[in-house]
Amino acid sequence: MEKVPDFLVNMLDIQYGKDIAQTILKGYESKRYVTLRVNTIKTTKERIKEELGSSGIEFEEVAWNENALVIKNANESEIRKLSMYEEGHIYLQSLSSMLPPIVLNPQEKENILDMAAAPGSKTTQIAQITNNNSMITACEINQIRSERLKYNLEKQGVTCCFVMNKDARNLDDFFSFEKILLDAPCSGSGTITLNNDIPENFTEKLIEKSCKVQTALLDKALRLLKSGGEMVYSTCSILSCENEEIIEKVLKKHNASIIPIEIENGKDIPYLPVKIPGTICVCPNEFFEGFFIAKIKK
């Protein structure tokens, strides 16, 4: 089994205290259940439940997300062999990753920006929530990842999205959007599983680099957000230097404020303490990746 880097253990101890840090470390040791989202652009939840049942696959429903299922007795490779996966009727996605689009609460006809979109998990979810009837601009800086994004959008039947192979930090300020999702590039400190190899580039330098990119992206997001518009800032990190500290720094420069997040029927979500009231941070365990989410209004 892999070992959590000493520098991360120290950061968790300082930020959360040793007791909560130990809970996080225990979460890193957990083997996470496979979770999926039913793609209602192409099918229905009832049909997917019937197909899973006929394949002998056990599942649980999720109280706060009517289109999410937790798979109890199959791994990802087994799910990928099913026709429902091949046909884009389901999308393999972590429960934590499903939270930001729900918090964003996109509506039909809205002009929406997804600033770091690949591989498309949240982009396709936004399209699904808006019944494929919003106007989504999805940015992805990396050419290969941009092609993967386009592939997933097509596979999921999304027709309301325009993909830009562009660094969102370089978008012209004449653009403006009613809703923005910034699922920012991060260290991934919430996604560590000691059953898998910890990436070699998971270093203090990666965290420092991530913070610089996050600051620039959030600043750009608030420039592009219409007055009265709302955005979500999220990361799969549980470190305050990538989350609350970024928000506090950037919000000082803009006429924007935090909207307190309330997840309906979310009492089973394992929350960590946060430094900004109204934001949420999810603790890693066997069901969830570590994830931070803030909702901001301009």
DSSP 32: P
Number of domains in the chain: 2
Quick one: 66 and 110 in the same domain?
no
Q: Hey, which residues are catalytic here? A: 236
| Exposure letters 103-142 (e unless 16+ CB within 10 A, then b) | bbebeeebbbbbbbbbbbbbbbbbbbbbebebbbbbbbbe
Q: Which residue has the tokens 């600033």?
A: 115
Whether 216 and 81 map to the same domain: the answer is no
pLDDT (tens digit, 9 = 90+) per residue, 256-271? 999 999 999 999 999 9
- The CATH number that applies at residue 170 is 3.40.50.150
Q: Which backbone phi and psi does 140 adopt, to 5 degrees? A: -150, 120
Full residue range of the structural domain in which residue 74 is found: 34-92
Same-domain status, 240 and 144: yes
- Does position 61 have pLDDT exceeding 70, yes or no? yes
Question: Does residue 104 sit in the same domain as residue 245?
Answer: yes
Confidence of residue 113 (pLDDT cuts 50, 70, 90): very high
Distance from the Cα of residue 274 to its chain's centroid: 18
> For 152-199, how does the pLDDT look when each residue is reduced to its tens digit (9 = 90+)?
999 999 999 999 999 999 999 999 999 999 999 999 999 999 877 788
- Is residue 228 domain-shared with residue 107, that is, in the same domain? yes
Residue 149 has pLDDT above 60, yes or no: yes
Q: Are strands 34-38 and 90-92 parallel, antiparallel or unpaired?
A: antiparallel
- Residue 289 in domain: yes
Q: Please indicate, yes or no, whether residues 282 and 221 belong to a single structural domain of this protein.
A: yes
Is there a single domain that holds both residue 143 and residue 215? yes
Looking up residue 59, the CATH number of its domain turns out to be 3.30.70.1170
Whether residue 38 sits in one domain with residue 133:
no
Percent of the chain predicted with pLDDT > 90: 96
User: Among residues 11, 6, 3, which one has the least CA distance to residue 237?
Assistant: 11
Tokens coding 197: 């190899």
Nearest of 175, 154, 160 to residue 110 by alpha carbon: 160
1, part of any domain: no
Cite the beta strand spans of the chain per DSSP E. Answer: 34-38, 59-62, 65-71, 90-92, 111-114, 135-139, 161-164, 177-183, 225-235, 257-259, 271-272, 280-282, 291-297
Does 202 reside within a domain?
A: yes
Domain end among 92, 117, 139: 92
26 shares a domain with 121? yes
pLDDT average, residue stretch 39-56: 97
171 part of a folded domain: yes
Q: How confident is the model at residue 1 (pLDDT cuts 50, 70, 90)?
A: low
Q: Work out the mean pLDDT of the chain and round it to a whole number.
A: 97
pTM: 0.97
Query: Burial, 232: exposed, middle or buried (Cβ in 10 Å; 0-12, 13-18, 19+)?
Result: buried
Residue 260's identity, in one-letter code, is P
Task: Give the model's pLDDT for residue 165.
Answer: 96
Is 130 a residue whose pLDDT tops 80? yes
CB 73, CB 51: distance < 8 Å: no
For residue 148, give the nearest of 122, 120, 124 by alpha carbon: 120
Task: Tell me the per-residue pLDDT of 228-249, one tens digit each, with 9 for 90 and over.
Answer: 999 999 999 999 999 999 999 9
Could you give the CA distance from residue 187 to residue 203 in angstroms, rounded to a whole number?
8
2 pLDDT above the threshold of 80: no
Question: Do 129 and 23 fall within a single domain?
Answer: yes
- Indicate whether 46 and 193 sit together in one domain: no
Q: Clarify whether residues 190 and 242 are in a common domain.
A: yes
| 135 DSSP assignment | E
Q: Identify the residue whose tokens are 């389901």.
A: 90
pLDDT digits (tens, 9 = 90+) for 72-101: 999 999 999 999 999 999 999 999 999 999
The pLDDT of residue 124 is above 60: yes
Q: Is residue 199 part of a domain?
A: yes
